Structure 1
C-alpha cells in the first residue's frame, strides 16, 4: 500500500487478496481490471479497483467465465441469472461427458480382466451353460486383444451427447407415509433432504431426497397407476443401490442411527465392497464403494 493509504502496488494487492501477481497481470492484459500507471509504468490500484476486484472474485466463485464477468461489470443489459443459467448448461454438459468417460473407463477396466478361468487355465463355463450346445462364440471374446483395443479406442471417441439421447435417470420410490420415509432416508441413511410438498390439509403428497449425482423422488401410493408401497405389498419389487465414499464408515453411521442392517460390509466378486440395510418400509437397500484392488481371478 502506498503512503496515502488509498492505493496498492500489484504485489501488495496480490498478497492482500490471496491472488497471484500473475493473475492480476492477466486481468489487466484482458481488460478486466485495468489499474492506473505511474510515470515509471508501475501498476497502481485504488479503491474503485479493489471494489471491482471484489465483484470479479465473487463471480469467479460462482464459476462465471471471465468474458461473462466482463459483461457483468460493463454491460448494463447483462444479468447474473442469465450468466448462471449459461454456466449451469455448460457444467451439465461437462458432467454428462465426464460420466460417459467414467462408464467407458469402467468398461475397459472390466474388459482387461478377461473372462473367469478355472484351475486348468481354461475359460470357466457358467453354471447351467452347455459348452456343446452349438451356440456360436462371440466374434471378439471379452478380454481378447481385439476386444481390449476396441474398448480403449472407445474411450477416445467424442463424448458429446446427442439431442435425442436419454440424459439422466431419476429414481421414484413409492411409500405409504412420505413424511416418515423422508425422515428415515435423511436421518438414518444420510441422504440430503429435498423438497416436501403438502396439500391444503398439510399432508405430504410428494417428497425428494438427493445424492451427489441426482434426485430420488418419493411418490404417494397411487392405485390408478398401479403404484403400491412395500408396506402395502408386504414385499419389494426393486431396490436402490447407492454408492458412498467409504462404505465401512457409512455402515457404522447407519448402525449408530438405529438402522437395520441385513448383511455387513462384504467384498463382492464384482469389484465393490457392499452392505445391505432395510429402508423406511422394510424394503432392501444396498450401499457400496468400489474396491481399489481388482477382484481375485
Structure 2
C-alpha cells in the first residue's frame, strides 16, 4: 500500500507508481522549487498524472543523479541539458570539457586578482608621482582601467609557475612537507629498483615538484651545499594557526609570526634538508 504525504504526493515506497515532487525532494535533499525549476528549463521533465501532478520514475532519478554530479562541478543547466541529451555523451568527456573551461576561468580570475592587487594604496606609484596627489590618483585610475581590459589568455603567454625543489631523499622530503608543513600529498614515482625519482606536493593553487639531485644539471641538495639559492613562500589563511601546528609537528622555526612592512604576517621555518621556507598571511586593514 502506498503512503501519501500531506501534499498528496505518493510516498517513497510507491514502487512503479513513482515519486511525486515532494517525495523526491525529501529523498535527494533538493528543494521542491529546484525540481520545479529543472522542469521549467527542460533539464528534467517528469511524467504527469491525469490530474497534472508531476511524477518521477527510475529513469528520472538516474538522470537527476547525473545532473547533480555535474552541478556540483559547476556545469550550467544549459550545458547539462545538451550533454545528457547527446547520444555520445559520457561523464568522462563532459568532465574533461568542464575541466578545460574551469582552467580558463581560473587563469582569468588570477589575472584579475593580480591587476586588482596592483591598485592597492600600499603599492607605490612612480617616484615622480609620490609628491603629487593628483598624479598619483591618475596612476591608480590607470591601474583600475587596466583591470577592465580583456583578460583573454594569449596562446604564447606563460600560464602557471611550477616550483621545483631539489632533495637528496625525495621520500623523506615528501613526508616532511606533508606531515609537518601540511601540504597536500601528490604522487611519488619510483624507478625499477623502487627508488623515488620524482615527487609532488600541492597547495590550493599549484604543484611543488620534488626533484632528485642531478649534477649533470647542476642541481644539488641544500643539505650538501650548505646553502640555498632560493626559497618557497606559501600563503595560508591563518599564519599563527599554521605556525602553531608546524611547531607541534616538530618544525624548526627560524623566526616567529611577525608583522612585516610589506603587508603580511610571516614566519620562517627550515625545510626537510635545512633550506628556508616562509609562510604568511596578508595583514587585515586596521
Please report the TM-score for the alignment, with normalisation by the length of structure 1. Answer: 0.84
Distance 1:115 1:271 in 2: 13
Residue 79 (structure 1) aligned with residue 87 (structure 2): no
Q: Which residues in structure 2 correspond to 1:187-266 (within 5 Å)?
A: 187-266=179-258
Deviation at 1:157, TM superposition (A): 1.7
Deviation at 1:261, TM superposition (A): 0.1
Match of 1:42 in 2: 53
Q: Which residues in structure 2 correspond to 1:17-96 (within 5 Å)?
A: 17-96=28-107
Distance 1:269 1:103 in 2: 20
Q: Structure 1 residues 114 and 161 mapped into 2: Cα distance closer, same or farther (>3 Å)?
A: closer
Distance 1:27 1:165 in 2: 40
SS at match of 2:268: strand
Residue 9 (structure 1) aligned with residue 20 (structure 2): yes
Residue 169 (structure 1) aligned with residue 158 (structure 2): no
Deviation at 1:68, TM superposition (A): 4.3
Deviation at 1:139, TM superposition (A): 10
1:98-148 deviation digits (Å, cap 9, x = unpaired): 111111111111xx24759xxxxxx9xxxxxxxxxxxx9469979711111
Distance 1:158 1:237 in 2: 37
Which segment drifts farther, 136-145 or 260-269? 136-145
Q: Aligned to 2:141, which of 134, 138, 149?
A: 149
Distance 1:68 1:97 in 2: 21
Q: Aligned to 2:118, which of 80, 95, 107?
A: 107
Which segment drifts farther, 175-184 or 279-288? 175-184
Count of residue pairs the alignment pairs up: 274
Q: Please tell me whether the aligned partners of residues 97 and 160 of structure 1 are also in contact (alpha carbons under 8 angstroms).
A: yes
Deviation at 1:260, TM superposition (A): 0.1
Please report the TM-score for the alignment, with normalisation by the length of structure 2. Answer: 0.87
Distance 1:283 1:70 in 2: 52
1:52-110 deviation digits (Å, cap 9, x = unpaired): 2223223322334434433554333112221111100110111111111111111111x
SS at match of 2:118: helix
Distance 1:186 1:53 in 2: 38
Q: Please tell me whether the aligned partners of residues 130 and 136 of structure 2 are also in contact (alpha carbons under 8 angstroms).
A: no
Q: Please tell me whether the aligned partners of residues 175 and 220 of structure 1 are also in contact (alpha carbons under 8 angstroms).
A: yes
Which segment drifts farther, 63-72 or 273-282? 63-72
Residue 290 (structure 1) aligned with residue 277 (structure 2): no
Which segment drifts farther, 2-11 or 81-90? 2-11
Structure 2 stretches of 5 or more lacking a match? 1-8
Q: Structure 1 residues 18 and 219 mapped into 2: Cα distance closer, same or farther (>3 Å)?
A: same
Deviation at 1:161, TM superposition (A): 1.2
Q: Please tell me whether the aligned partners of residues 141 and 147 of structure 1 are also in contact (alpha carbons under 8 angstroms).
A: no
Structure 1 stretches of 5 or more lacking a match? 117-122, 124-135
